[in-house]
Amino acid sequence: MALAGFNSTPMRYFIHLAYSGKNYHGWQRQTNVLGIQDVIEEKLSLLLGKPVFIHGCGRTDAGVHAHQYFFQLEIEESWDFDFVFRINKMLPPDIAVFEIIPVTENANAQHDAIRRTYDYYLHFKKTPFLADHSTWYEGFELTQLEKMAKGANILTQYNDFRALCKRPDKVGHTRCNLSAVNIYKNKNGDRLRIEVTSNRFLRGMIRLIVTKLLEIGQGRLSLEDWENFIARNENPSFKRFAPPQGLHLSKIEYPFLNITPKREIGEWVKVVCS
């Protein structure tokens, strides 16, 4: 997008991007660690010639990736160069900007999002080409994939997930509207993708869901015990979370904006329960 001139009123934009989280301590700017927000604000400040502060659509944990992410940016000046080309030349290879989208002055990248989708990728044969963006589960035998699919469906029947929150005492409430939880396998059967869509997520929620669904797939957790675990709304003192590198923020939806994400290309087959 190439613009020129000066606006007396600041214009608000949503920036559509993706990133690999391997080298970062999550999206959020924090003290003494490097976040993706730090890198982008530094490069935007150089590009626009003044300090720039941005507001993202949400947090991601250290090591977590994003196929699709949006942040909002307000600036008064316009520009007469290709914004996307110029900022991508300045950003490191693991952060890519796709487009800059003018929005209304009250649009909010975080609070206006109505649905978020995460995918968790895992593989069962060691390969260096997946190591940074999928979790290797050595020696796993998932003999009960259909039960995993049933366990996934159980989640959509509840709306309070206190049992699946890392720190429930740190949030106002633990209710989420999970509209879909799906499990996919690849053509060779040596990779899985667990897809979860909701209006909001709790800290650590998806990585704990993955751990529990894998226990179902191994026959270590029954569907009855899984449902009881959710329904009791008791937050256990010990939690085992799936590693962060397999987790990807895949899609953000707004009432006024729904863009197909730049997702991984591959053949995936949905696991259905009979």
> What is the residue-wise DSSP string for 3-50?
--SEEEEEEEEEEEEEE--TTSS-SS-BTTB--HHHHHHHHHHHHHTS
> CA-CA distance, 84 to 97, in Å (whole number)?
6
Q: Is 83 left (phi over 0), alpha (psi -120 to 50) or beta?
A: alpha
The values of phi and psi at residue 84, to 5°, are: -65, -45
How is 239-262 classified by DSSP, letter by letter?
--PPPGGGEEEEEEEBTTB-----
Distance CA 52, CA 102 (A): 17
Of the candidates 268, 160, 120, 150, the residue with the CA atom closest to the CA atom of residue 216: 150
233 Ramachandran zone, left/alpha/beta (phi>0; psi -120 to 50): left
Residue tagged active-site, from 38, 61, 160, 225? 61
Based on the residue annotation, tell me whether 61 is a catalytic residue of this protein.
yes
Helix axes 223-231 and 205-217, enclosed angle (nearest 10)? 160
Neighbours of 34 (CB within 10 A): 14
- CB-based contacts of 15: which residues, under 8 Å, 6+ apart? 54, 70, 71, 72, 73, 97, 99, 100, 101
Neighbours of 142 (CB within 10 A): 21
If you ran DSSP here, which 8-state letter would residue 170 be given?
A: G
Active site residues: 61
